[in-house]
Structure 1
Amino acid sequence: MATEETIHNVLITGGSSGIGFGLAERFLRDGHRVLVTGRSRHRLAAVSEALPGLETFVSDIANPQDREELAAHVRQVMPNLDVVISNAGIQRRVGIAVDHAPWADVQNEIDILLAGPVHLSRLLVPQLLEHGRPSVYVNVTSGGAFQPMPFAPLYSAAKAAVHSYTVNLRHALRATPCRVVELIPPAVATQLAGPGPNHGADPDEYCDTVYPLLDGSHPNVGFGPTAQPDFTARLTAEHRAFESASTRFPVPLYQADGTVAPAH
């Protein structure tokens, strides 16, 4: 059980089902304060009933105004926010050659998977830095970010972009007490792609394994295929290459007090 000194204030987007719900359940069980978001008021009401004490907020991560309203709500009701898990996602399983969906459907997938996480970090990172205490920002990507999946090509591309952005976000926050974590699930048997058959790791086993690793001490958290030595070696090699190239064109970085230091 968390003590008063270790109680975290946790925001999880897409927390009404799947990985988001599983992590919310574990944070809440350990005595932390948890706020989850989702698009469906009905589903949020159901999870709130299932997990007494859980706080909810209806928000569509694809909508810029909703993202701004969420940030304003968090600032008002949870000013000591110190854990963010950007988890909301969808997966359209359709190959490029047969994807004849209206562009609005395609744009919605891009907005949920890429625009949403980027915008949310811009809105919430300053709040995490204001209180000056250790904090953790978690972006949920996918094994598909590293191995493009023909059955979900746009999902793979968007997650690859979020992976790249997460590496740069970690760099921008390196001088602050805010740690950036990339949670890299393999296939997990959730309803990510909508109703119907699903495949992958058991959600409870997955959440039990990764939950203790989200304290900021592990920059990358995998499971199964995304925790194998060959995969972690790939991440290590990528990190070394990034460190070597990241000072080629210096950029301003956040400082511990939330200010930004000029590039030098």
Structure 2
Amino acid sequence: MTTATAYSVLVTGGSSGIGLGLAARYLQAGHRVMITGRDPGRLASVAGQLPGIETFANDIGSPQDRQRLADHVTHAMPELDVVINNAGIQRRVGIAEDRAPWAEAQNEIDILLAGPVHLGRLLLPHMLRHGRPSVLVNVTSGGAYIPQPFAPLYSAAKAALHSYTMNLRHVLRATPCRVVELIPPAVATALAGPGHTHGADPEEFCDTVFPLLDGKLPEVGFGPTAQPAFTDRLAAEHRTFDAASTRFAVPLYRPDGTVEPVNS
């Protein structure tokens, strides 16, 4: 993808934190941007601060809302070029002390894992149909690689999304759609709720990673997740995956979005 082209961009969880920071940078670069979030009031506030940004109130944890979002986007954005699967929550509760109703844990899983997997499934055929280079970005976490006892379910869901992202990149390798995993370390956003803000400066994080989300790199990190010890681990994982991924043939996407049968 070239920076001279104006893109249509969808950012989930775009009313605050990393999502808002990236959405603002896409908008400032001259692209068309739509953000989603669960709070219509917060979305309206962002729209007032960033003239031209489009909003869509949506709960990414709901399968019905994901379908509603996909229907809206495919109609409103015929040439969807970039999807940033960023929406997230983090329950900071250890395994031994977690006595909350299961619905709270299920909601965390639905937002962090089911949401990006399902939305990608709904939007990828649309992104491939127009034939332009496109990028799908799944936001994971350093916690996907180093499990965090203070947020164990969050870490597990992000680890699962990392695994799925590698497989998604594999089946799209013959298409114009690139798959990027954005791997933030701790960033000082409101992800975990009031009183849990720590980590890297969000503006510095977004300034650094934004130019790297063009699809040329399979993973993009920052600070600890961009250090050689971490990137060497990723490189070793890629080598292992490449060697193992052909053991059993699976259907792949063709460039036009159709699926190539295994025995073709």
Please confirm whether the aligned pair reaches a TM-score higher than 0.5, indicating the same fold. yes
Classify the secondary structure of the residue corresponding to 2:207: helix
Superposition pairs for residues 30-109 of structure 1, below 5 Å?
Answer: 30-109=29-108
Does residue 17 of structure 1 match 2:16?
yes
The secondary structure found in structure 2 opposite 1:189 is coil
Q: Which residue of 2 aligns with 1:123?
A: 122
Q: Secondary structure at the match of 1:6?
A: coil
Q: Which residue of 2 aligns with 1:134?
A: 133
CA root-mean-square deviation: 1.0
Between the aligned partners of 2:44 and 2:15, the Cα distance in structure 1 is 9
**1:168: which partner in 2?**
167
AA paired with 1:130?
R
- Matches of 2:199 and 2:43, distance apart in 1: 25
TM-score, reference length from structure 2: 0.98
Q: Which amino acid aligns with 1:140?
A: V
Structure-1 residue corresponding to 2:189: 190
Query: Equivalents in 1 of 2:222, 2:236: separation in Å?
Result: 19
Q: Distance in 2 between matches of 1:185 and 1:56?
A: 24
Cα deviation, residue 195, structure 1:
1.8
- Shift of residue 165, structure 1, vs aligned partner: 0.2
SS of the residue aligned with 1:139?
strand
Q: Provide the C-alpha distance between the structure 1 equivalents of 2:9 and 2:196, rounded to a whole number of angstroms.
A: 31
Give 1:239's aligned residue.
238
Where structure 1 has 5 or more consecutive residues not aligned to the other structure, the ranges are none
What is the distance in 2 between the residues matched to 1:71 and 1:195? 31
- Residues 217-232 of structure 1 mapped to structure 2, 5 A cutoff: 217-232=216-231
Instruction: Report deviation, 1:99.
Output: 0.3
Where in structure 1 do 4 or more consecutive aligned residues deviate above 3 Å? none
Deviation at 1:196, TM superposition (A): 2.1
For 1:195 and 1:36, locate their aligned partners in 2 and report how far apart those are by CA, in whole Å.
23
Shift of 1:197: 3.9
| Identity percentage of aligned residues | 73
CA distance in 2, matches of 1:229, 1:112: 31
Looking at structure 2, the residues matched to 82 and 29 of structure 1 have their Cα atoms a distance apart, in angstroms, of: 16
Query: Does the alignment pair 1:149 with 2:148?
Result: yes
TM-score by length of 1: 0.98
Q: Deviations over 1:86-132 (max 9, x none)?
A: 00000000000000001111110010001111101100111110001
